[in-house]
């Protein structure tokens, strides 16, 4: 990894985290429900884009350096497994069994599916 890629990766991580905070805040201000839709949407969209990037790198349409910067950097800061886990546990502690199950298992299944779809799309190009 070159110094320039390292700097770009760290800057992209900060931009990803800032984007997550902004998008989550916008979603929370518009949707009032027990499910943490902001985190769900962020993780699902991040999984889709990471799958797409990985597919593009696999077909040599995108250099590996971009995969590092955008995938590990931006999307690493943008997506958040720890918040999804915390919100699932919080829902279960509040005895909101259906919401906790939907959040935990639903996010896992949908994020994995969208990542696979993105990988498939990236491989088509």
Residue 114 labeled ligand binder: no
Alpha-carbon distance 91 to 6, whole Å? 38
Alpha-carbon distance 5 to 2, whole Å? 5
> Which residue in this structure is represented by tokens 């909101």?
96
Alpha-carbon distance 37 to 120, whole Å? 26
Structure tokens at 26: 């916008």
Structure tokens at 25: 């805040």
Residue 79 labeled ligand binder: yes
Q: Which residues are annotated as a binding site for Na(+)?
A: 76, 79
Q: Which residues are annotated as a binding site?
A: 76, 79
């Amino acid at each position: 990894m070159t110094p320039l890629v390292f700097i770009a990766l760290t800057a992209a991580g900060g931009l990803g985290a800032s984007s997550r905070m902004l998008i989550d805040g916008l979603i929370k201000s518009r949707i009032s429900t027990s499910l943490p839709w902001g985190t769900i949407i962020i993780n699902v969209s991040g999984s889709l884009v990471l799958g797409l990037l990985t597919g593009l790198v696999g077909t040599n349409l995108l250099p590996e350096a971009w995969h590092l910067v955008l995938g590990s950097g931006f999307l690493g800061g943008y997506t958040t497994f720890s918040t999804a886990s915390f919100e699932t546990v919080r829902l279960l502690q509040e005895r909101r069994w259906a919401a906790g199950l939907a959040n935990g298992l639903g996010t896992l299944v949908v994020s994995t599916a969208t990542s696979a779809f993105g990988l498939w799309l990236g491989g088509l190009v």
